[in-house]
Structure 1
Amino acid sequence: MLAKLLYEGPWVAERYAAIETFFTQDPKQCLPVIETIIGGATGHSAVSAFKAMYRLQAYKIECDAILEQVDCIVTPTAGTTYKIAELENDPIQLNSNLGYYTNFMNLLDYAAIAVPSGFVSSGLPFGITLFAPAFSDRLLLSIASKWQQITALPLGALKQALPVSDTQAEDMPAKLGEIDIAVCGAHLTGFPLNHQLTERGGVLVKACSTSADYRFYALAGGPPFRPGLIRVDDQTGAKIEVEVWRLPVSTIGTFLQGIGQPLGLGKVQLDDNTWVSSFICEGYAIKTAEDITHFGSWKAYMNSKN
């Protein structure tokens, strides 16, 4: 029902307004199908426009609630494929059929991407569309890229091979409303403060390392015992093992409140040259701290104490 509003509802009046002078002078300057669609705009009133807006708002509330439960939704890009002659005989209805699964996305202000998916028994191509809330472009592009790598379909009529991507599955970016945080000490899996992540809906994305630009310290005090990560620019740094956790943005405030000095949240460079939010340490704290950089990880350091 929502998809029909795009071409059969009052939004077509916007197209009419854009070319009104041109259209009223001589409608026959347009292709017949365009003349039919644009000409239908004159039958809409301000009342019908407002009624359609209210319907759209109701649909959006319903659809947004569904999207909150998933990362994205997959639909066919088009339910079928027509020959050119078939489209020329009935362009409005058949084009409407082709957009059955996708016409609603613009009206709902969703982001979407179409991806090749395979071939049907007739030999014609078939594709899927991924859609999610506005501004989730990076998420969709990442999923689409991985889908293409998995299917490895040839590119276009020349059947060129799809280039192999070095993108790793765990590198899928956080979607809108989420944030990735790297932890290197008491918040690691199996350590005393890890519950502060899991209680807030945190999900482990990957285990990796920082770039080779950091020194690592065991801070004074405890329990819980905590490390400090300091970036250096004098070639004395090393890679330090970390875990990247994904948290809902809505929980970051309470998480930050629980971080005691001299620690805080900042940005840390990972070994793949990306930057991520992470625990960082005030420089003054290392005066009373033990340099444990040579261990390369908090786990290795703590094991050495047993």
Structure 2
Amino acid sequence: MFARHVDDAAAVDAAARGWCADDPYSADRPLHRGEQPKTWLLPQGRPEFFGPFAAEYEAAWNRAKETIARSGVRVQQVDVSLLQEAAALLYEGPLVAERWSALAGFIEAHPGSTFPVTETILRSGAQAEHTAAALFRAQHRLAEIRRAVRSWLRQAVLVLPTCGGTWTREQVGSDPIGTNSKMGLYTNHCNLLDLSALAVPAGQAGPELPFGVTLFGLPEEEANLTEAARFLLRQQDTIRVAVCGLHMRGMPLEPQMTGLDAVFAEEAQTAPVYRLYKLATEPPKPGLVRTPLGGAPIAVELWDMPMESFGRFTASIPAPLGIGRVELADGRSVPGFVCEAYAAEGALDITVSGGWRNAMAEV
């Protein structure tokens, strides 16, 4: 089921859950009281990312991992290559013959009526190498993988990217099967291994580019996924803040950011509507002033700060500095350091440096 909130999904699940007399594969799995998983599992090494936004997806995944790590839960790494082996059987092995057995009659009776890519995949189930013996070998291997994965997942939750990337329409058109297969890289194993899963948002990979993670668990512990999802979403309740001076990485006030559990997200530039000044304070601080004319892009850093820390942070900022809306070069608008215009009078204009870090390097 798809819903805007975890609680809504749980409510629909409660209504839909239960044994179906018309389905010979149906199973009655009562939902027990959920509890927080004792261990959060993450994949060993660097997951595969793909498509034109691979770097952005990887950065978003790294931020999601950092969110989990700083939450204080017990984290363990596992080798997920077994999951990918299982996933490959969905389209590349004899299991696809099940689809052909269900739809072959329609395809043969209505030539050309099926979407060509779909028909190509379905007809692959009729290949000569997909023998009964091959099917049993695949089922036996799946049983081995299922047993190994169950040993990881007892009282645990596995976290993977929901998708490792996305594609342009042109890329899908030129390789529809390959691109579709990649989209399921981190999910195709789920049904074959009889797992439960819950996908939740995990921030943005970029402008209009949402990112998410999927939580996997054992079906008899499915209620734990709801508790884990609620917990993770609370950890993501952050505000992205732009800093342009002493609070940047490696600068004297960086400990104020990390002390409030803020996490560096990305480097960025403002829209070309600002001027930067070196204020006559001790120590010297930058003043970012919006101007109607003669502005330039200024380098900033974006940090994700817990909402509960944001109020304390803003209250600690002395005049003439404060927190306002900072317009970024890519069109985003985020809270960030700004300076009252009167403070620029008599201050050194360092706009030409392009940012505080460059200006300090030139001193």
Q: TM-score, normalised by structure 1?
A: 0.52
Q: 2:270 aligns with which of 190, 210, 221?
A: 210
Instruction: Give the partner amino acid of 1:84.
Output: R
CA distance in 2 between counterparts of 1:116 and 1:198 reads 29
Counterpart for residue 279 of structure 2? 219
Task: Say what the alpha-carbon RMSD is for the aligned residues.
Answer: 4.7
1:212–1:239 Cα contact (<8 Å) kept: yes
Aligned ranges for residues 5-44 of structure 1 at < 5 Å? 11-12=15-16, 36-37=22-23
Instruction: Give the partner amino acid of 1:222.
Output: E
Larger relative contact order (CA 8 Å, sep ≥ 6): 2
Give the drift of 1:13. 6.9
CA distance in 2 between counterparts of 1:179 and 1:134 reads 18
Aligned ranges for residues 171-190 of structure 1 at < 5 Å? 176-190=236-250
2:203–2:211 Cα contact (<8 Å) kept: no
- Tell me, yes or no, if structure 1 residue 273 matches structure 2 residue 272: no
Aligned ranges for residues 139-218 of structure 1 at < 5 Å? 142=210, 176-218=236-278
Counterpart for residue 136 of structure 1? 202
1:111–1:137 Cα contact (<8 Å) kept: no
CA distance in 2 between counterparts of 1:277 and 1:301 reads 23
Name structure 2 gaps, 5 residues minimum. 1-9, 42-64, 71-76, 104-138, 150-158, 167-179, 188-196, 213-234
Instruction: Give the partner amino acid of 1:284.
Output: Y
CA distance in 1 between counterparts of 2:37 and 2:311 reads 29
CA distance in 1 between counterparts of 2:249 and 2:322 reads 20
Q: 1:233 aligns with which of 287, 292, 299?
A: 292
CA distance in 1 between counterparts of 2:274 and 2:336 reads 13
Name structure 1 gaps, 5 residues minimum. 1-5, 17-33, 89-93, 102-109, 118-123, 145-174
User: Cα gap change, 1:11/1:178 in structure 2, threshold over 3 Å: closer, same or farther?
Assistant: same
CA distance in 1 between counterparts of 2:245 and 2:321 reads 11
Give the percent of matched residue pairs that are identical in Structure 1 and Structure 2: 27
Counterpart for residue 37 of structure 2? 62
CA distance in 1 between counterparts of 2:253 and 2:185 reads 42
Instruction: Give the partner amino acid of 1:272.
Output: D
Instruction: Give the partner amino acid of 1:128.
Output: L
Counterpart for residue 27 of structure 1? none
1:116–1:128 Cα contact (<8 Å) kept: no
- Tell me, yes or no, if structure 1 residue 261 matches structure 2 residue 319: yes
User: Cα gap change, 1:200/1:35 in structure 2, threshold over 3 Å: closer, same or farther?
Assistant: same
Counterpart for residue 23 of structure 1? none
C-alpha deviations, 1:279-298, integer Å up to 9, x for none?
11222322353322223222
User: Cα gap change, 1:214/1:62 in structure 2, threshold over 3 Å: closer, same or farther?
Assistant: same
Which SS does the other structure have where 1:196 is aligned?
Answer: helix
Which SS does the other structure have where 1:58 is aligned?
Answer: coil
